[in-house]
Structure 1
Amino acid sequence: MGQKAFHVWISGRVQGVSYRYYTGLKAKELGIRGWVKNLPDGRVEAWFEGTEPLVIEMLQWCRKGSPLARVMNIEQQLEEIRNRQGFRILR
């Protein structure tokens, strides 16, 4: 199965609602590698790597996010695989 990597920016009510925490849980559940962090402008930025179907599932999950989140928009950019290890929640 082909590997894919996406750089993602999520906007809306995505900070202060445990979005990063729940993203980490979902990524670990799916075996996605990468990271997630808050941006100063109120968006969340993430990097997802894994098999194509699982990365697509992760991107779909991001459209809803954590229980209290209100996602307004997602920008995603296909990237080169960087062979990241594990999934990290950054500050």
Structure 2
Amino acid sequence: MKTAVNLVVIGNLYKSGFRFYAQQKGIDLGIVGTISYQGEFGDISIHAEGEEEIVKTFTNWCAKGLPYCKVLKVDVQSVPLQNYNSFDIVSVNSDSPDDQKPVVTKKKKSLGARIFGF
């Protein structure tokens, strides 16, 4: 049965690569949803949807963290399904926390790619 959760991963995560590795792990498991930084301390907010056992596996993976970052705790809240089709890292742009809208970030081509066509 499909389920959805919001995770807040708290720890030493800012600029650690945790969002990227969480995205890759989620994609490998078949998770869909979003990942973004939350708040001024670099905590990570994840909306994850998938089969119940897969979401539990992903949540446990997030709680372990990575060798070069320390996860202190993961808050988990069950939420309604939003039926995402992909698992994206997003940045949240807003002046007010009540008016946050996720914006999908896209990789820019390097200067070499623009000059040499790579």
- Which TM bucket (shorter chain)? over 0.9
- 3-state SS of paired residue (1:67): coil
1:4 alignment partner in structure 2: 3
Give the alignment's TM-score, normalised by structure 2. Answer: 0.73
Matched length: 90
2:79 alignment partner in structure 1: 79
1:35 alignment partner in structure 2: 34
* 1:3-50 Cα shifts (integer Å, max 9, x gaps): 110011011111111010000100000010001011232210000000
Give the alignment's TM-score, normalised by structure 1. Answer: 0.93
- Confirm whether residue 90 of structure 1 aligns to residue 90 of structure 2: yes
One-letter amino acid matched to 2:87: F
Gaps of 5+ in 2: 92-118
Gaps of 5+ in 1: none
- 3-state SS of paired residue (2:65): coil
RMSD: 1.0
Q: Bigger relative contact order, structure 1 or 2, given CA contacts below 8 A and separation 6+? A: 1
- Over alpha carbons, which structure has the higher Rg? 2
